[in-house]
Amino acid sequence: MILLETVHELRAWRHQAGRVLLVPTMGALHEGHASLVREARRLAGDSARVAATIFVNPLQFGPNEDFDRYPRTLEADLRLCEEAGADLVFAPPVHEVYHPDRSISITESSLSTVLCGASRPGHFDGVCTVVAKLFNLVQPDEALFGRKDYQQLAVIRRLVRDLDIPVVIHGVETVREPDGLAMSSRNRYLTPEERAQAPALQAALRRARDAWLAGEQDVPRLLRAIREHVAVNAPLCREDYVSIVDPGSLQPLARVEHHAVALLAFWFGRARLIDNLELRR
C-alpha cells in the first residue's frame, strides 16, 4: 500500500492508476471504515485500484466544535486500510487541500437545512466543498460512504447530481457492535455508564419501525415511541433531534405510508451520536 501526502504525488499516481474506487474518511478509523474499504476492494476486483483519503476537514467544524481535539490516529488508520485492501492512502496536510487565501466554496441550500444541518450550520457546506475537492484530486470512478450518516449520503448524492460529477456513489450498510450501537469514532468519548445506555438509540428506532409495521402511520405517535424508549433506557443522554422524514427530500412527514427514514441525534456528555433506520416493507 502506498501513502501519499501531496497533490503532486497523487496526480502522478492517478495518471497510471486506471479505474479507481474511493473511500473518503476523516481518520480515527474503526471497523465501519474497514467495511467500506473491503466493499471497495470487492467491487474493484483485481483490475481496479482502491484509494482511501484521511483528512480532518476544518470546514466541517463549527465555532463550538474543536477541530484540534478531533482524534488523529494515522499509524493505526494506515494498518486498517492496508489490512482491508486499500492500494493507496492520501493523507494530506491542510495546506495541500486549501489555499490560505481560498475564496470559493460550495453551499447546499435544501437537504442541509434540517436534522444535523439545523444544529450544525455550515457543516454540510464544508462536506460538499471537501468532497468535491477530493473528487477533483483523486478523480475516482466510484466512491463509497456509510449509511450511518444518512443525511451526509443524501447530500453527496445531490452534490454529484447537481454538479454533474461523474462518480457513482455507493451507500454501505452501518456496521454495529454486537449490542446494536453504530460504530463511530465518537464512541470512544462515552463513559462506561453512557456506553451501556447508548444501544437504546437503535432499539428505540426499531421500536418505531415495529409499530409502523404493525399498522401505526401517525408520525407524532411514532416519534413519541422513540422518545419514551430513550427516556426510560438512556436517561444520561439529551436530545438533539428525533425525526421521521421523506428519504428523498429529508423533509418531515406527518404520516408514513410506504417509505420513510427515522433519524435521531443525542448527546451523551460530549459525544454526539447519530443513527437512523429506514421504514419500508
What are 271's three cell numbers? 459525544
Does an H or E element contain 242, and which?
Answer: strand 238-245
Give the active site residue among 30, 33, 95, 170: 33
- How far apart CA 273 and CA 76 sit, in angstroms, is 23
Say if strands 142-146 and 168-172 run parallel, antiparallel, or are unpaired.
parallel
What are 123's three cell numbers? 457543516
- How far apart CA 182 and CA 187 sit, in angstroms, is 9
Where does the chain have alpha helices with state H? 7-15, 31-44, 74-84, 94-97, 116-119, 123-138, 150-162, 192-197, 200-213, 219-233
- How far apart CA 143 and CA 168 sit, in angstroms, is 6
Question: Is 123 one of the annotated active-site residues of the chain?
Answer: no
What are 233's three cell numbers? 433506557
| Cβ 50 vs Cβ 37: under 8 Å | yes
Residues 6+ apart with CB under 8 A from 117: 108, 111, 123, 124, 151
Residue with grid cell 421504514, as numbered in its chain: 279
Q: Which of 159, 171, 281, 180 is nearest to 229 (CA)?
A: 180
What are 99's three cell numbers? 489555499
- How far apart CA 274 and CA 277 sit, in angstroms, is 11
| Cβ 205 vs Cβ 176: under 8 Å | no
Residues designated catalytic: 33
